[in-house]
Structure 1
């Protein structure tokens, strides 16, 4: 009998790191569920996968909406149980506590924290029933060390880190592994847009400065993050759960 095709649900899968994760996992002959607010962009990611011989479906869902996520996971699990969940969707905010409004805090919490909760809640029952599952949460180095002007963002990523520990502990006897990845600065369109918006007159200089903030001397790439996700989802990582993996060019340990 042919091996079961694994099903991987990736949130924020239409662009940046999420898209790289989708494309990478698709190479392992998994069925990829690309979940994103932007349906057209999600469809473009699925098209690339299908054109390369893979299998994928696109869904437009707001991860902060519990009812939407629960209904999506229920309908998917009735067709093909979800084996892998990658909680990649997230938003950023720049500012210390004085220039973080209550609305900023709520907005980041709803997506970065509640969104992770909603997605895990949506898949956990099915994973328990099949006695297997992999959950990867996208945290950040900001969960572990102090980063200037990242008050709200750090708060949410700290929550992602500790949710990872809790889920790993609670479901270890159900065959479910839960880990998180903590990237440093990764070169995505978000970084380019941030520099263009905030430093229009010295973009090259600022890009160089941000790159050099990693001891390794450059930013990471989405493909490098995707490669780590790929490993943690694989059977080669079967002995790994409840762990946080910095992938940061030495930022956390060498910046002293």
Structure 2
């Protein structure tokens, strides 16, 4: 069924369709200023959902050492950066699982955990990546996280707590954008279902509450009569200088 674009309401409908689904090959940004430029603060990924891609163990080059602590520092740093580049923002437990799998080590002990964390801290201090609680990623990944289908992730990775707040904001924003006006609980349910988490449990609602509140505080979403709508800032790509957001790693 073709949608009619007659009259003023039709113009609004056409605008909404164009602005909510930007052409990834476009070079202009008249409808969505700055959408095709690197984000300077959190911004939604409006492209098609993509499968979750896990790093390939063989690309990390950690096998053959026998002992995790025998892996040279530079080799482990490179493996961590490679994993973050492919999967970030990613949870520490996911990162550790990838490293141990690549090194053919079966157990994440205290000393291994401490070594991984020490290298993460060093990489963050050097500006190579950013840490936000248990998550590691690049600044660009926090500012515009990929919209990913987590049903394609390895089974051990498909845990809602392993999805960063920045990515959950994209999930919730997309759910409201597609279904507004929508009740908050329904938006949570729709958002999780879209990325491969079929059940909205009480724990999941608690997990999603903070990202949802952050979206409303930033006016990316707004509540009217107990339902959610896109907010005033929904389609504004923020252009402040990167230095202003150098400490903002949560996707807020």
Whether these two folds match at TM > 0.5 is: no
Considering only CA atoms, is the larger Rg found in Structure 1 or Structure 2?
A: 2
What's the TM-score once normalised by structure 2's chain length? 0.29
What's the TM-score once normalised by structure 1's chain length? 0.28
